[in-house]
Structure 1
């Protein structure tokens, strides 16, 4: 089962290969880089569900990389992985917007648990009258059970709020390996979500894709 798209920054070739292979076998698509400059280039161009960043890498270190990305309002969940164990590094990581911090050496199963925990959408407030929780959309005094695809689509948007998401990227993440899905199918599902959320939350960016706007 397809679980999402991850980015891995790790300069040790053996560890990089081992982590990527394990995560791919666990159902994730993994894209990677071995230095900070290449990582920043990729992360500015492509959409991922979660980033795994080793701190001490050639070029920009991951503190600098994350700082630049957060300043661009890209809030993708991020796990730092590092041999650094001092409190100063730990505080700096979370201050810059890290979601978690895993010290080397680590168990691959523990890494998987941490990734899956971060990718679970619990309760998210969309605006003062509407929130989403575990497959249900609550609006004023009503609740709506979303279809499987509506749930996946909304959760993908919630993971990437305020980012312009290309149509093909959305289809690849939501429909993954289900065969040929065209843009009209995507438009139909977005139309259904707009009826529940309001048109203002899912904005069409002409020629580029869609952008999800939350009011909180």
Structure 2
């Protein structure tokens, strides 16, 4: 699981961002200032840092500078109310990778996080475990209670996508664009066929279900998950 550190002194925003990212299958560590963030980083490896600039004890500039002295590659995203060019220049000179101005749009935050992780060549998770089901992204194989469930590459990709974002609805068009491409001659009913095949192959697995969101598309529901 990808680990993200959120350093933000606004408690309400810190909790909101942390909750949002946790709901998208990231493991989140939250701190209220730069000093606490740096202390956490001394004992905990993370894959990305999201930081405010204006924080007590140690601001975001000092935090970014300290991080870059230790790690040249980890993605750093500034999330701040400062919208002036001088603050942006200072941040990028210190080595940050991206800059968002408050108020934060959470959909945009997710897109920026995913883009930064891709650029850093960080795999979201080579193995995804959901109850008795394990998906191995390297092998493109699925196992239920240790027994392989044969899947085509595209079946695996669709299932892995859905289970990577439990409870998130993906439209048929989104799935078509990602796994069949814009130029495909197939139509959205192709997605329905694949979902039917996946439901059939995993009908004996009680770890999850693929729910139909009428008029939109599909989402994975992990059984036993809270929320």
Range class of TM-score, shorter chain: 0.5 to 0.7
Instruction: Select 2:59's aligned residue among 44, 61, 65.
Output: 61
> Who is 1:72 aligned against?
70
Instruction: Select 2:21's aligned residue among 10, 20, 23.
Output: 23
SS, match of residue 86 in structure 2? helix
Structure 1, unaligned runs of 5 or more: 123-154, 160-172, 180-216
Deviation at 1:49, TM superposition (A): 1.2
Instruction: Select 1:111's aligned residue among 109, 112, 115.
Output: 109
Closer, same or farther in 2 for the Cα pair 1:89/1:119, shift >3 Å?
Answer: same
Closer, same or farther in 2 for the Cα pair 1:94/1:121, shift >3 Å?
Answer: closer
> Who is 2:94 aligned against?
96
Instruction: Return the TM-score normalized by structure 1.
Output: 0.56
Paired with 1:175 and 1:70, the residues of 2 have a C-alpha distance of 30
Deviation at 1:177, TM superposition (A): 4.3
Deviation at 1:75, TM superposition (A): 2.5
Paired with 2:129 and 2:49, the residues of 1 have a C-alpha distance of 22
> Who is 2:45 aligned against?
47
SS, match of residue 3 in structure 2? strand
**Does residue 84 of the first structure (1) align with residue 99 of the second (2)?**
no
Paired with 1:60 and 1:39, the residues of 2 have a C-alpha distance of 9
SS, match of residue 44 in structure 1? helix
Deviations 1:79-105 (A, max 9, x none): 001100111100000000100000001
Paired with 2:44 and 2:129, the residues of 1 have a C-alpha distance of 19
Paired with 1:29 and 1:73, the residues of 2 have a C-alpha distance of 20
Q: Which has the larger radius of gyration?
A: 2
Deviation at 1:65, TM superposition (A): 1.0
SS, match of residue 43 in structure 2? coil
SS, match of residue 30 in structure 1? strand
Deviation at 1:58, TM superposition (A): 1.0
Deviations 1:160-209 (A, max 9, x none): xxxxxxxxxxxxx6546478xxxxxxxxxxxxxxxxxxxxxxxxxxxxxx
> Who is 1:170 aligned against?
none
Deviation at 1:106, TM superposition (A): 1.6
Structure 2, unaligned runs of 5 or more: 132-227
Contact 1:44 1:69 (C-alpha < 8 Å) held by counterparts: no
Instruction: Give every structure 1 segment of 4 or more consecutive aligned residues whose post-TM-superposition deviation is greater than 6 Å.
Output: none
Paired with 1:117 and 1:11, the residues of 2 have a C-alpha distance of 25
Instruction: Return the TM-score normalized by structure 2.
Output: 0.53
